[in-house]
Structure 1
Amino acid sequence: MNTTNESATAGTRPAPTVWPTLQARDANALIDFLVDTVGFLRTAVYADGDQVAHAQLDWPEGGGVMLGTHQPGSDWSREPGTAGIYVVTDDPDGLHARLRAAGVEMVRDVADQEYGNRELSIRDPEGNLWSFGYYRGEPRQCA
């Protein structure tokens, strides 16, 4: 089994947060796309050949995603290519320029939104939709 676990050697664990999970028909290709093209960090990949049991990809600005090879019929089976994920970035314009130069399929070019965000949307090779912008959510009101 091929294992990469860079966070274990660094000795730091990420802060608790929400981690979307994806399944992919070609998990290795999706990992390469998200790391080499989009800018995620390959933190852990547990694979046996072309079958990825688990991968953790960290977003440099916080949070991340987990993914693995699609296994129809398993308890945690999700159809590849059906996710929509929002990722916070302080530089949507720079990311847009880099992704466009790499030939990534743009769903929506970077633009200001009426609710105050500046964001862009892409489609990954599996068909998942990714939106990137600087909106971090509304302040939580304590009840």
Structure 2
Amino acid sequence: MAAKLFPAMKFDDAPEALDWLKSAFGFEPHVVHKDESGGIAHAEMKLGDGLIMLGGKRPPEATNPWCTEPMGVYVCVEDIETHYAKAKAAGAEIVRPLSDTPYGAREYSARDCGGHLWSFGTYDPWKA
């Protein structure tokens, strides 16, 4: 199974984090989506062949664990339906069921045996 992994982080001040990651570590913006207040809803930064995702923390939403989670991993997989079925069959704690997103992906989120947040889906930041 081919997969691509992307660390995903939430910051109290995402615009500041974007600038800091650029000046301190050399990351360059790949994609930046602003929210209604001018903050960063979602950004992607690249460094060489690597890419990270980041955004600002938001008020909790019962259906979206990513609003407040400080860090997790997003994994782009080719066959999301099979992946989801396998995770459910193995007893993974599904915290966001498989569904279509407004940005054209199909995704779900789960917690691993240590409580860490993972999202699996069809969104590939390199193709955005």
What TM-score, normalized to structure 2? 0.45
Higher radius of gyration, 1 or 2: 1
Kindly indicate which of the two structures has a greater share of residues assigned to strand: 2
Asked which structure has the greater RCO (Cα within 8 Å, sep 6+), the reply is 2
